[in-house]
């Protein structure tokens, strides 16, 4: 079954990026969010990035118009009835995600594949909430989606070969490079990245160095494009905390204990770039 129409749920930084890349690659896209302001902010952000691409001669005016023409907005999951693939990119919370998947299972036709952009949550458990667990899969894009080449594809225990092959082919159509991984907490990407970020937060918490100096060490000493605390602010400190909690609970190992300073920042509403304050200030 060819994938022609895609719904992306969640118009935050990931959902908007995923919708943009799908529309630029020729797919019809419905961008969904339950929050109308977030939906508008998502589409405004896409338009801005497309305009920048035109200014930089990476896209023609016609391609920009065609891309925007393939994008529509939605605020009800019932609209998924017309889609061949749904990619969920809502908050990293199991209860919220499973509620979305249960609804999607009711509204979508039998052939529709249900994918999650989760950073760490078990695909097997999300799949078990539906009557089509063989058609549920993890499609983990990296931030910023239009720039990063990787899609980590996570197979739940029940995911069929047919579903995997359709998503692998779709990833290539998006000009991304898919890598297949098994369904373990944090998969590969965040099992390795997030403990490094958490450790960077511990070094600040223990007074070893300032955020700026921790970032300088990793940028200048290890050639990382962003220091770990800048990256944490960029990802969202709430998302970083949720991922550490999944690793901690999933492996039952104290080496994944979220740093208390990370918890405190999230409690304060200092979520990083998206709220204007995290380890740095953004104005
Ligand atoms: N959205 C879309 N495009 C963006 C962007 C954004 N937020 N930020 C930057 N870009 C693009 C721009 O097109 C820009 O090119 P132009 O200026 O010509 O338009 C290009 O990237 C380079 O940007 P900059 O010159 O401003 O900055 P840079 O050279 O430092 O690159 C970066 C920016 C690509 C984000 C780079 O800093 C980087 O690779 N950082 C690390 C990103 C990373 O590790 N991502 C993974 C996060 S973890 C994750 O995603 C998984 C998870 O589950 C949490
Ligand atoms: P975000 O906070 O920027 O956006 C989430 C959006 O989902 C919000 O606009 C919110 O209104 C919407 N939403 C929440 N519940 C909803 C529902 N029930 N129905 C419709 N919309 C709903 O978050 P984000 O950073 O884009 O992360 C989204 C997902 O992508 C998370 O699972 C996260 O772990 C994953 N992810 C994040 C990153 C990253 O770097 N931030 C990278 C890869 C994967």
Confidence at residue 283, expressed as pLDDT on a 0 to 100 scale? 85
Looking up tokens 């890598």 gives: 179
Cα of 11 from ligand 2 centre, angstroms: 7
Annotation: binding site for NAD(+): 10-15, 33, 92, 97, 119, 143, 274
Closest CA to 45 of 5, 18, 75, 9: 18
Q: How far is the CA of 112 from the centre of ligand 1 (A)?
A: 31
Q: What is the CA radius of gyration of the chain?
A: 19
Tell me the pLDDT tens digit for each residue of 93-149.
Answer: 999 999 999 999 999 999 999 999 999 999 999 999 999 999 999 999 999 999 999
Single pTM value for the model: 0.97
Burial class (CB in 10 A: 0-12, 13-18, 19+), 274: middle
Q: For residue 204, what is the enclosing H or E element?
A: helix 189-205
Is there an atom of ligand 2 within 6 Å of 235 CB? Answer: yes
Q: Which residues are catalytic?
A: 119, 140, 152, 190
Give me the percent of the chain exceeding a pLDDT of 90: 99
For 247-267, how does the pLDDT look when each residue is reduced to its tens digit (9 = 90+)? 999 999 999 999 999 999 999
Structure confidence by residue, pLDDT tens digits, 176-204? 999 999 999 999 999 999 999 999 999 99
């Amino acid at each position: 079954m060819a994938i022609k129409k895609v719904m992306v749920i969640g118009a935050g930084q990931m959902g908007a990026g995923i919708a943009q890349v799908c529309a630029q690659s020729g797919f019809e896209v419905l961008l969904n969010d339950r929050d109308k302001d977030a939906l508008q902010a998502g589409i405004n952000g896409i338009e801005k990035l497309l305009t920048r691409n035109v200014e930089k001669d990476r896209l023609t005016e016609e391609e920009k118009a065609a891309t925007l023409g393939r994008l529509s907005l939605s605020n009800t999951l019932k609209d998924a009835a017309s889609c061949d693939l749904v990619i969920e990119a809502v908050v990293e919370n199991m209860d919220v995600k499973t509620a979305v998947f249960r609804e999607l299972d009711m509204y979508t036709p039998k052939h529709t594949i249900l994918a999650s952009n989760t950073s760490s949550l078990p695909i097997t458990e999300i799949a078990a909430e539906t009557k089509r667990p063989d058609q549920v899969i993890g499609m983990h894009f990296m931030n910023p989606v239009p720039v990063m080449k990787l899609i980590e594809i996570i197979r739940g225990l029940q995911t069929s070969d047919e579903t995997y092959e359709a998503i692998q082919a779709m990833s290539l159509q998006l000009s991304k490079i898919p890598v297949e991984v098994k369904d373990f907490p944090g998969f590969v990407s965040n099992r390795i990245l997030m403990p490094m970020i958490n450790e960077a937060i511990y070094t600040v918490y223990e007074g070893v160095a300032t955020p700026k100096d921790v970032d300088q060490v990793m940028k200048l000493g290890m050639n990382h494009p962003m220091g770990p605390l800048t990256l944490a602010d960029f990802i969202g400190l709430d998302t970083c905390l949720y991922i550490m909690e999944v690793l901690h609970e999933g492996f039952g190992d104290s080496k994944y204990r979220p740093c208390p300073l990370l918890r405190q920042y999230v409690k304060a509403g200092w979520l990083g770039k998206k709220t204007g304050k995290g380890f740095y200030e953004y104005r």
